[in-house]
A and B are shown apart, each in its own frame.
Chain A
């Protein structure tokens, strides 16, 4: 025990160190993540918003809309809506998982796990796995539903690539969910943050194609970059437009990525500040 001048949070100290064989650590990590995934899936309300709602919205916006069959970039209109809803479902999953993780820790579950061999780092990794698994659910569900409803990509590679972009791009929203939980410290705050995603999704151009001033504002909102990137395989930055408005200039990939990077940094900074405030009490 070395009483070094650690002024940081009085949380569980040293990680397990190299004394524990990697294989046993992996087993513990997977065991934990498996249990936690079971819990998350079982919570009906969460699963409803993550899986059922995006599917319902796909049916409303994409399945029925008359542009569904029209060719659009390297696919059709239905595939466009499918990607949008997959993004919405995936970020909702990430937000909810990370947010509930933070609330759970504040309620003492972190201390309980602190009495086990599961280190803080392994806990975070486990939660990321759970978040990714939960985000994968709406992506797969929508891919299947949309395919059945006539969604079409021109090339087979577009399916896994689109799915991968959605999954990886949803990771920063773990920080968004975490920030909400750290700032307001309640389950309700996490629900509100998930609810606010509807608004962000609207401005992220996920629900209906925006144009004019609305679009100009939208480009700087958190979901816009991810939405644009997820559609890149199909549209390469082109914008879908409805009606007789003047055609809008497309997005550059750099802009989309920059949007994601900047907002990730913003969410991360909020988490850092909120976390510091919490331990400074």
Chain B
């Protein structure tokens, strides 16, 4: 992002993905509405957003499945369809895309036969953790196993870029963890990984960089730390002072530039503030509370703001750092 690189030639290095003023319209719907995005080689990027944000449409264009109605997109420095056909870019598809009558091993060998060049099918199976399931019929595989199979197919050409669209949909927690462990190993080999998800935890845990999308546009772009840094923290404590008057929680909050975010029966009280450390110091010094707990604004908060009704009108970079909503979840 920061460092300038050589501009993309036809088959030159070029970034893993580069979109310029990209648009895709389906009759009246603007699925992707002006996206500028550059993803460099070796990055692991999550495209995060609610359903209908345009994630799949964006990735479809990056894979050549869909033709932009405006702007340009280049994958690994060349035409997306070409990058995919040659096996340089690959993808794990969201759902479907498998034949129930084949076995796991047959599926990999059949798709391998359709590639110009590929790694040994057995190796792809092993890397996806499927060696033990090779003789199983696809129709009898669980959702997680099918997804591993799609992943094995994506590894066949040893691609420079792997695109995953909602890769863990339908997986249980264990399968999801195992899947990401496998993905980590592939990313460590230097592959660029771009995945769409609406699981915040997945984006936060796995991606180095998060691209937040809403209504076909990119609303924020950065690391988890960058996205949550500008936001307030929450201090929760057991309130021991009086509940009203000069020494009450509301007055205390006002005095220290914080906001009283919630109070349950006057026992546990929640404040929002930028400098929660100073707030904690004051609280303890004045002897008004104890049993303190400080939590950082989570990506959830960023995401909730993003999906909230008012989000459209606020530019993402200098969004007012108002306190988190009073009932913003227990975190």
The residues of A with any CB-CB pair to B shorter than 8 Å are 1, 3, 6, 10-14, 16-17, 20, 24, 28, 31-32, 34-36, 39, 42-43, 104, 107-109, 111-119
- Is B53 an interface residue when CB atoms closer than 8 A count as contact? no
- With A3-B68, A13-B67, A14-B81 already in contact, the answer to whether A35 and B113 are too (CB < 8 A) is yes
Q: Give the complex CA separation of A114 and B73 in angstroms.
A: 18
On whether the beta carbons of B63 and A115 are closer than 8 Å, the reply is yes
Interface contact A13-B64, CB-CB below 8 Å: yes
**Residue pair A31, B101 in contact (C-beta under 8 Å):** no
B95 within 8 A of A: yes
Q: In the complex the two chains form, is A39's CB within 8 Å of B99's CB?
A: yes
**Contact assessment for A1 and B73 in the assembled complex, using a CB-CB cutoff below 8 Å:** yes
Known contacts A31-B114, A35-B106, A116-B87; can you find 10 more A-B pairs with CB under 8 A?
A1-B68, A10-B67, A16-B85, A34-B113, A35-B109, A108-B97, A111-B93, A114-B84, A115-B153, A117-B87
The interface residues of chain A lying within 8 Å CB-to-CB of B109 are 35
Does the CB pair B65–A117 fall under 8 Å?
Answer: no
Residues of chain A within 8 A (CB-CB) of B116 are: 20, 24, 28, 117
Which of chain A's residues have a CB closer than 8 A to the CB of B150?
Answer: 112
| A to B contact number (C-beta, < 8 Å) | 102
Inside 8 A of A13's CB, which chain B residues have their CB?
64, 67, 79-81
Listed by A's residue number, 8 A-B pairs whose Cβ atoms lie within 8 Å are A1-B73, A12-B65, A28-B113, A31-B114, A112-B150, A114-B84, A115-B91, A115-B154
Which residues of chain A are near B106, meaning CB under 8 Å?
35
Cα distance, A114 to B71, chains bound together (Å): 23
Q: Are B90 and A108 in contact (CB under 8 A)?
A: no
Contacting pair A117 B97 (CB below 8 A):
no
CB-defined contacts of A118 to chain B, threshold 8 Å: 114
Contacts of B72 in A (CB 8 A): 1, 3
* Distance A39 CA – B106 CA, assembled complex (angstroms): 10
Q: Which residue of A lies closest to B91 (CB)?
A: A115
Contact, CB under 8 Å: B74 / A32? no
Provide the bound-state CA to CA distance between A20 and B102, in Å.
28
Are B60 and A10 closer than 8 Å at their CB atoms? Answer: yes
A87 CB to nearest chain B CB (Å): 28
Q: Which of B92-117 contact A (CB under 8 A)?
A: 93, 95-99, 101-102, 106, 109-111, 113-116
**Is B115 in contact with A114, judged by CB distance below 8 angstroms?**
no
Kindly list chain A residues whose C-beta atoms are within 8 Å of the C-beta of B96.
107-109, 111
Contact B153–A112 (Cβ < 8 Å): yes
What's the nearest-Cβ distance from chain B to residue A13, in Å?
4
Provided the pairs A14-B81, A31-B114 are in contact, do residues A6 and B67 lie with their beta carbons within 8 angstroms? yes
Given contacts A3-B70, A10-B60, A14-B79, contact A115 B101 (CB under 8 A): no
Separation of A6 and B64 alpha carbons in the complex (Å): 13
Q: Which residues of A contact B87 (CB under 8 A)?
A: 116-117
CB neighbours (8 Å) of B84 from chain A are: 114-115
Flag whether B86 is at the interface (Cβ < 8 A): yes
What is B's interface to A at a CB cutoff of 8 Å? Answer: 60, 63-74, 79-82, 84-87, 90-91, 93, 95-99, 101-102, 106, 109-111, 113-116, 150, 153-154
* Inter-subunit contact B80/A112 (CB<8 Å): no
User: How far is it, in angstroms, between the C-alpha of A24 and the C-alpha of B115 when the chains are bound?
Assistant: 10
Tell me the smallest distance from the CB of A31 to a CB of chain B, in Å.
Answer: 3
Task: Decide if B97 touches A116 in the complex (CB within 8 Å).
Answer: no
CB of B110 to closest CB in A, whole Å = 4
Q: Say whether B153 contacts A12, CB under 8 Å.
A: no
Q: How far is the CB of B152 from chain A (nearest CB, A)?
A: 12
Cβ-closest chain A residue relative to B94:
A108
Q: Is there an interface contact between B113 and A104, defined as CB atoms closer than 8 Å?
A: no
Contact B73 A116 (CB under 8 A): no
Question: Cα distance A16–B114 when bound, in Å?
Answer: 12
In the complex, what's the smallest C-beta–C-beta distance from A47 to chain B, in angstroms?
13
Task: Report the nearest A residue to B27, measured CB to CB.
Answer: A280
A-side contacts of B93, CB under 8 Å: 108, 111-112, 115
Query: Across the interface, which residues of B come within 8 angstroms of A3, CB to CB?
Result: 67-72
Assuming the contacts A10-B60, A117-B85, A117-B86, asked whether A1 and B79 have C-beta atoms less than 8 A apart, the reply is yes
Q: Are B99 and A31 in contact (CB under 8 A)?
A: no
Cβ of B111 and Cβ of A112 under 8 Å apart?
yes
- Contact A111 to B65, CB < 8 A, known contacts A1-B72, A3-B70, A14-B79: yes
Residues in chain A near residue B91, CB distance under 8 A: 115
Q: Find chain B residues with CB under 8 A from A6 CB.
A: 67
Complex partner residue of A111 from B74, B80, B97, CB under 8 angstroms: B97
**In the complex, A163 Cα to B102 Cα: how many Å?**
31
- A116 and B156 CA atoms in complex are apart in Å by 10
Residues B99 and A104 in contact, CB atoms below 8 Å apart = yes
In the complex, A111→B85 CA distance in Å? 12
Complex contacts, A35 vs chain B, CB 8 Å: 106, 109-110, 113
Note all chain A residues with C-beta closer than 8 A to B68. Answer: 1, 3
**Nearest-CB residue, chain B, relative to A31:** B113
A1-B74, A1-B80, A108-B96 given as contacts; is B101 within 8 A of A39 (CB)? yes
Distance in angstroms from B279 CB to nearest chain A CB is 53
Residues of A within 8 Å of B70, CB to CB, are 3
Chain A residue at minimal CB-CB distance from B82: A14
- Give Cα distance in the complex from A98 to B67, angstroms: 27
Residues of chain B within 8 A (CB-CB) of A1 are 68, 72-74, 79-80
> What is the chain A residue whose CB lies nearest that of B63?
A115
Give bound CA distance, A253 to B157, whole Å: 53
